[in-house]
Each structure stands twice: as structure tokens, then as C-alpha cells.
């Protein structure tokens, strides 16, 4: 009789392999199978043990080759084979990672599941850019939102709450809808001059940054489409980026993006 395996829902962090927790690294290196998302960096995947089954299940906007129901089935099938499964998710599995959905499916089948937290993209981007998420006198709190809805449903959010001038707003997965998001926030009272930072591939060697205002973030993104996952930081804290050595902080950004930052 095959002993049932276990699934570890592991936060792989924002991309830099050195930002993995010790526990995440240990469990990854002990895994028989690694099921990973598109946002997990190649540097982290390279840490998987030789001979482990590597199963990509990543999604991209308007491109879901492996639906969530099928991902749930894959995880269950592997565990029922008796395998130790590392389910790698970008950032943290409990922040826009659908980790709880996968855990619920597995536990309903009697499969053992454990969460392993990771550094979410907002924290990684803050550390990489030097932009704090909170700062005395500028932001007393922070709000995380996702910039899209399942099946492209309308963005039915409490825009007045999100436009709170005393908080920093972090937008995950918002490139496609950043124009609508900016317009709705301004309509709810956010000033068009409020600074915004868009960070792509945060914490990796491929990281790029685009500095803008809420009023012009959408056209700047259209002119310089970022390559890779993007996080938007919206709020007064972004003004602290101006106090840093901007030239030394921009990492291999495309020429048009560098120009946009220099003239923002």
C-alpha cells in the first residue's frame, strides 16, 4: 500500500532566490515533485533536486493553459502517489495566490497540507526600491488589491476607501486595467499628481522601474510596456524615491523607460 504524500504550499518570494526562507529552501530540496507558477523565477527553480518532477502550471493574462481545477487535481494525484509535493507560488501563497483554494480541495480529500509563507511582491519591491510601504507623516497604512477580476469581470471595488490619502495602495496584476484604476481613483478624490512607481520583475536582475504620476501612469505604461509581472505602488511614499540616487537604482531598464523616469 502506498503511503500518502504531503503538499507544501510554498511562497517562493518575489524572485530573488536569496529571499527564500530557510524552510522553503529545505522543503523544495526535499521534494519529489515541484508544481510551479509562471512567477517563480528560474533561479529558484534551479534549486529543485535533480530528478524531481517539474510541472509548470503558470497562468498569464487571457492565457490559462492549466485551469485551477486541473491544478487542484494534479496536486491531489501527486500526493496520492505518495510523493512530497512542493507547490511553488510567487510571493506568498495566501496573498492573491489561491493557496487557500488549493488547500481546501486537498483537505477535502484527506491530504495533508502545510503553508510556508513567503515575502510578498510588495515587500520585495519596497526593499529593492527603497520606497517604504508606510512612513510617518506620509502613510499610516497600506492596502493590497488585485487589478483584475476572474473572467474579466468589472472592477467593483470601494474606490473611495482605496483613495484614502493616508494609506499606500499596492496594485498586483494591474497592467491591463491601470488606466481604469487610475481614473476611478482620481474620481474618488486622489490627485492626478500623486506619485506612482511601477516595478517589473522586482528583486531580480531583470528588474525595471517606471516613475509616473497617477494622471500619466497609463500612457507611460502603454509607451513602455513592461516585460514580466508588474506591481504598482501608489501614494505619497513614492516621493521618497526622489531622495535616493535614481541613476544607481535603475537596473538595466530599456532606454525609453530610463528616459521616462529621468523626466518624470
Active site residues: 37, 59, 173
Contact 258, 250 (CB under 8 A): yes
Query: What's the start-to-end Cα distance of the chain, in Å?
Result: 65
Q: How far is CA 23 from CA 11, 20, 29, 260, in A?
A: 10, 8, 10, 40
Torsions phi, psi for 150 (to 5 deg): -55, 135
CA distance 5 to 30: 12
Closest CA to 164 of 141, 180, 182: 141
- The β-bridge relationship of strands 195-200 and 230-234 is antiparallel
Amino acid at each position: 500500500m502506498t503511503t500518502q504524500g504531503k503538499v507544501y504550499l510554498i511562497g517562493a518570494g518575489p524572485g530573488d532566490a536569496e529571499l527564500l526562507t530557510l524552510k522553503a529552501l529545505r522543503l523544495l530540496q526535499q521534494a519529489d515533485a515541484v508544481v510551479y507558477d509562471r512567477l517563480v523565477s528560474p533561479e529558484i527553480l534551479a534549486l529543485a533536486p535533480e530528478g524531481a518532477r517539474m510541472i509548470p502550471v503558470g497562468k498569464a493574462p487571457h492565457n490559462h493553459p492549466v485551469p485551477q481545477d486541473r491544478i487542484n487535481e494534479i496536486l491531489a494525484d501527486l500526493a496520492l502517489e505518495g510523493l512530497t509535493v512542493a507547490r511553488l507560488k510567487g510571493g506568498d501563497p495566501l496573498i492573491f495566490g489561491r493557496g487557500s483554494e488549493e488547500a481546501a480541495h486537498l483537505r477535502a480529500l484527506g491530504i495533508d497540507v502545510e503553508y510556508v509563507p513567503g515575502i510578498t511582491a510588495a515587500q520585495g519591491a519596497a526593499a529593492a526600491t527603497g520606497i517604504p510601504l508606510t512612513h510617518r507623516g506620509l502613510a499610516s497604512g497600506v492596502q493590497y488589491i488585485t487589478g483584475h477580476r476572474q473572467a474579466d469581470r468589472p472592477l467593483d471595488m470601494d474606490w473611495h476607501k482605496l483613495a484614502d490619502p493616508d494609506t499606500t495602495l499596492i496594485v498586483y496584476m494591474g497592467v491591463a486595467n491601470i488606466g481604469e484604476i487610475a481614473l476611478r481613483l482620481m474620481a474618488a478624490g486622489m490627485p492626478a499628481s500623486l506619485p506612482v512607481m511601477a516595478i517589473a520583475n522586482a528583486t531580480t536582475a531583470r528588474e525595471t522601474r517606471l516613475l509616473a504620476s497617477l494622471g500619466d501612469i497609463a500612457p507611460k505604461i502603454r509607451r513602455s510596456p513592461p516585460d514580466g509581472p508588474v506591481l504598482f505602488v501608489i501614494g505619497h511614499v513614492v516621493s521618497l524615491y526622489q531622495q535616493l540616487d535614481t541613476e544607481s537604482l535603475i537596473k538595466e531598464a530599456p532606454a525609453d523607460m530610463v528616459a521616462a523616469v529621468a523626466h518624470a
